[in-house]
Structure 1
Amino acid sequence: MFDPRDPAFLADPYPTFAALREAGEVHRHDGLGLAIAVSHGAASQVLRHRGLGRIWTDAAPAERFVSFNLLHRNSLLENEPPAHTRLRRSIAGAFARGHVERLRPTVRALATDMVEELAEKIASDGEADLLELLAEPLPVQVIAELLAVPPADRELLVPWSNAIVKMYEYGLPEAGQQAAERAAGEFAGYLRELAADRAGNPGDDLISDLVRAELTGDEVVATAVLLLMAGHEATVNVLGNGVHALLRHPGQWRRLVADPALTDTAVEELIRFDAPLQLFERTATTDLEIAGFRVAEGEKIAALLGAAARDPAVFDRPDELDLGRAPNPHLGFGAGIHYCVGAPLARMEIAAALSALAERLPGLRPAAEPRRRPEFVIRGLRTLPVRA
């Protein structure tokens, strides 16, 4: 079985996933302490089965992780019905008030400006880091616009998000755990102040809508944190992993440059080809079976999304990048009741970035080997040097 900290595995986990699929649809991974579903069918069952839930267990010892646990205990992602139903109804209702469409011109302008800065940096220095100048700043600026975070405070958001999400990895050192709790406390405190301000001075933003909805103060804070962490991490890594894949398949990049109509299917294919979220856990609320594998009540099982995305039973030539692939039933945004509520916004951001890159930098190519993040669950790059 694979070691999730092995650099060779992290560089390219997909041959290992293929071998696991050949051996069976579900396996016990003793190192992770749970079962993993590696076929598309089994992973889809894990995400949709009503006998499997997101049952939050406080990080321990609880007194050391007060803020981290509070954010997750009140999160849409970590609750099941009836709490999940109430939270999702309020959050989806807020999103349905036109926030995504309202932001479309802003997202397009942000992406265009950032790609222009990237092009200028390449022109002056010969190369530039696409992660630093586009993939990382774009989603955080979009989420900040969605929440109407004051511009002077926006530089605080990424460090908070980066510290908190490291708690989702396996074997995080003590210093990382302390940093995650500290970031959770600071982020929660900041958002409480922002929500209190919006309660008295509502605006045309998502926090104002959440304050007006049937949410507690803790739920408003937890929802805003979830939107930033999920929206930021997913989009950063789809853009980083995706552009890296395009530059390693220059024929597909030229195809996108020549045919902008491929942008929407390209977004879906980049999410599938190198999944930004590799693993999603669920807990059994009753005894059940997934693809013949028995899961007892209280035991955990995870959908290994990266493996499901390369399943040849569902995807023709799954190890090939095909920007015109359709249909493309990837599970990158989840499935079932926990399907990502921010998926339309993420798709819009990724499409805007790809369109701006193809138009302004059609000759984009690698400048050096990128550096990869040393984490397994959230798969991404630290740098992506490019030239044109």
Structure 2
Amino acid sequence: MDAVDAVYDPWSAEFVADPYPAYARLRAAGRAHWHGPTRQWLIPHYEDVAALLRDRRLGRTYTHRFTHEEFGRPAPDAAYEPFHTLNDHGLLDLEAPDHTRIRRLVSKAFTPRTVENLAPTVRRLAADLVGGLVADGGGDLLARVAEPLPVAVIAEMLGVPAEDEERGRLRPWSAAICGMFELNPSEETARRAVEASVEFSDYLRELIARRRKSPGEDLISSLIAVEELTEQEMISTCVLLLNAGHEATVNTTVNGWWTLLKQDVRPDPEKLSTAVEELLRYDTPLQMFERWVLDDIELGGVTIPRGSEVALLFGSANRDPARFGPTADVLDLERADNPHITFGAGIHYCLGAPLARLELTAVFGELLRQAPGLRLAAEPVWKPGYVIRGFEELLVEV
């Protein structure tokens, strides 16, 4: 087995549970490493990851410049077309000029005021969810608090009526679709993603039709008012806001509290925003992000040719001592200089980062206030996924 393959094993439960020692070995060994099993170039250093996120010689897609044949890649399986239609029209997987146009239009609807107006709702939901957990003496922090909060916020923001039965399907739909972002997803994962893509798209199409007839104060109504977006672009934007808009909050809440409980530390409530940034850095919810190489690049004396795929190791970059100093592997809840890249960089910087920060600050604040004696009730088990890394559950007592 190749030395890199022995160090980096994203299908290993042991690696998923603690990838950070492997990252340290990758950083020490060089700036770019070929990984045969995933057919990707691994990029472990902060400086390189941050630079490549902004480098237009790389892209989330290549179809704006090349055909599949020209790029040396097979065309997507026709059976997965509903997933690809949904995914390929969203900001996450577009490049200029389409990305520029759609982000500009979506930004007209998803403004700082949109987030600001959601603040009272976010705080009320966080207080109610934590209050329910405390009243029961504890439970699964993931299912009782971490998941319901951001999903309810996104539903509120999009204008999904509380009485619609589909509101309860938002999280399962999202989980099924996000399964395709893991490495080498199985046929069953792809089947579930396609099914969820069809059902979610059908529901949003019907909801958009309702809002055309009767606009409200919600984001879907605002997107309709922009007019220059196609219906598919609106649908893909809404799905992306749910998928990307809650994964960081869910896993940072649960992984963060596991870290706090394991190390027996608590944030200072007066410095909560600083602590949230550190928890986003210390145990990154999205461990790796991929880019296609559109033109040859050179990194540390290694030429990475056009047609390659690079794996930008966010989790490694956020623990790089070259950027975060000798305490890079230490949880410092008052870390002042903290330019983590958890939300990305460049044109694909997370549009929902302010909303995620609002949700995290609210939920951590409520848990500190209402459950000061929070403690682990059982050792948690990591989900098998590596890219979006989190626990199956986090059982706690108050």
Q: Same fold judged by TM-score > 0.5? A: yes
Question: Does residue 242 in structure 1 map to residue 256 in structure 2?
Answer: yes
Q: Once the 2 structures are TM-superposed, how far is the Cα of residue 367 of structure 1 from its aligned partner?
A: 1.1
Q: Once the 2 structures are TM-superposed, how far is the Cα of residue 98 of structure 1 from its aligned partner?
A: 1.6
Match of 1:80 in 2: 95
Q: Once the 2 structures are TM-superposed, how far is the Cα of residue 60 of structure 1 from its aligned partner?
A: 5.8
Distance (Å, rounded) in 1 between the aligned partners of 2:355 and 2:105: 17
Match of 1:47 in 2: 53
Give the gaps of 5 or more residues in structure 2.
69-73
Residue number among 86, 91, 108 corresponding to 1:93 in the alignment:
108
Match of 2:19 in 1: 13
Match of 1:108 in 2: 123
Structure 2 CA distance for partners of 1:194 and 1:292, relative to 1, 3 Å:
farther
Match of 1:282 in 2: 291
Q: Once the 2 structures are TM-superposed, how far is the Cα of residue 92 of structure 1 from its aligned partner?
A: 1.3
Q: Once the 2 structures are TM-superposed, how far is the Cα of residue 298 of structure 1 from its aligned partner?
A: 1.9
Q: Secondary structure at the match of 2:322?
A: coil
Match of 1:142 in 2: 153
Distance (Å, rounded) in 2 between the aligned partners of 1:172 and 1:54: 18
Match of 1:131 in 2: 142
Letter of the aligned partner of 1:173 in structure 2?
S
Instruction: String of CA shifts for 1:306-335, please: whole Å, max 9, x gaps.
Output: 000110111131111111111101100000
Give the gaps of 5 or more residues in structure 1.
none
Q: Secondary structure at the match of 1:315?
A: helix
Q: Once the 2 structures are TM-superposed, how far is the Cα of residue 293 of structure 1 from its aligned partner?
A: 2.9
Match of 1:117 in 2: 132
Letter of the aligned partner of 1:131 in structure 2?
L
Letter of the aligned partner of 1:10 in structure 2?
V
Contact 2:62-2:294 at 8 Å conserved across structures: no
Contact 1:76-1:223 at 8 Å conserved across structures: yes
Distance (Å, rounded) in 1 between the aligned partners of 2:180 and 2:392: 18
Letter of the aligned partner of 1:188 in structure 2?
S
Match of 1:63 in 2: 78
Contact 1:26-1:42 at 8 Å conserved across structures: no
Contact 2:177-2:197 at 8 Å conserved across structures: yes
Residue number among 347, 366, 372 corresponding to 2:382 in the alignment:
372
Q: Secondary structure at the match of 2:42?
A: strand
Contact 1:45-1:290 at 8 Å conserved across structures: no
Instruction: String of CA shifts for 1:19-59, please: whole Å, max 9, x gaps.
Output: 11111122111111110110101111221111111116799
The CA RMSD over aligned residues, in Å, is 1.4
Instruction: String of CA shifts for 1:185-239, please: whole Å, max 9, x gaps.
Output: 1001111111111122111111111112221010000000000001121211111
Distance (Å, rounded) in 2 between the aligned partners of 1:284 and 1:357: 43
Distance (Å, rounded) in 1 between the aligned partners of 2:184 and 2:76: 16
Letter of the aligned partner of 1:270 in structure 2?
L
Question: Does residue 312 in structure 1 map to residue 331 in structure 2?
Answer: no
Residue number among 275, 278, 291 corresponding to 1:269 in the alignment:
278
Task: Quote the sequence identity (%).
Answer: 49
Question: Does residue 38 in structure 1 map to residue 47 in structure 2?
Answer: no
Q: Secondary structure at the match of 1:65?
A: helix
Give the number of equivalent residue pairs.
379
Contact 2:62-2:292 at 8 Å conserved across structures: no
Q: Once the 2 structures are TM-superposed, how far is the Cα of residue 67 of structure 1 from its aligned partner?
A: 1.1
Distance (Å, rounded) in 2 between the aligned partners of 1:211 and 1:91: 10
Letter of the aligned partner of 2:332 in structure 1?
D
Contact 1:37-1:46 at 8 Å conserved across structures: no
Distance (Å, rounded) in 2 between the aligned partners of 1:175 and 1:79: 26
Contact 2:281-2:342 at 8 Å conserved across structures: yes
Q: Secondary structure at the match of 2:232?
A: helix
Distance (Å, rounded) in 1 between the aligned partners of 2:360 and 2:45: 27
Letter of the aligned partner of 2:386 in structure 1?
F
Residue number among 177, 181, 188 corresponding to 1:168 in the alignment:
181
Q: Once the 2 structures are TM-superposed, how far is the Cα of residue 97 of structure 1 from its aligned partner?
A: 6.4
Q: Secondary structure at the match of 1:223?
A: helix
Q: Secondary structure at the match of 2:396?
A: strand
Structure 2 CA distance for partners of 1:292 and 1:95, relative to 1, 3 Å:
farther
Q: Once the 2 structures are TM-superposed, how far is the Cα of residue 277 of structure 1 from its aligned partner?
A: 0.5
Letter of the aligned partner of 2:150 in structure 1?
P
Question: Does residue 181 in structure 1 map to residue 190 in structure 2?
Answer: no
Match of 1:223 in 2: 237
Instruction: String of CA shifts for 1:90-125, please: whole Å, max 9, x gaps.
Output: 111211262101100000000000000110121xxx
Letter of the aligned partner of 2:156 in structure 1?
E
Distance (Å, rounded) in 2 between the aligned partners of 1:234 and 1:382: 15
Distance (Å, rounded) in 1 between the aligned partners of 2:388 and 2:300: 25
Letter of the aligned partner of 1:385 in structure 2?
L
TM-score (norm 1): 0.95
Distance (Å, rounded) in 1 between the aligned partners of 2:243 and 2:368: 27
Instruction: String of CA shifts for 1:125-184, please: whole Å, max 9, x gaps.
Output: xx4111111001111001001101111331010110011111111232222211110001
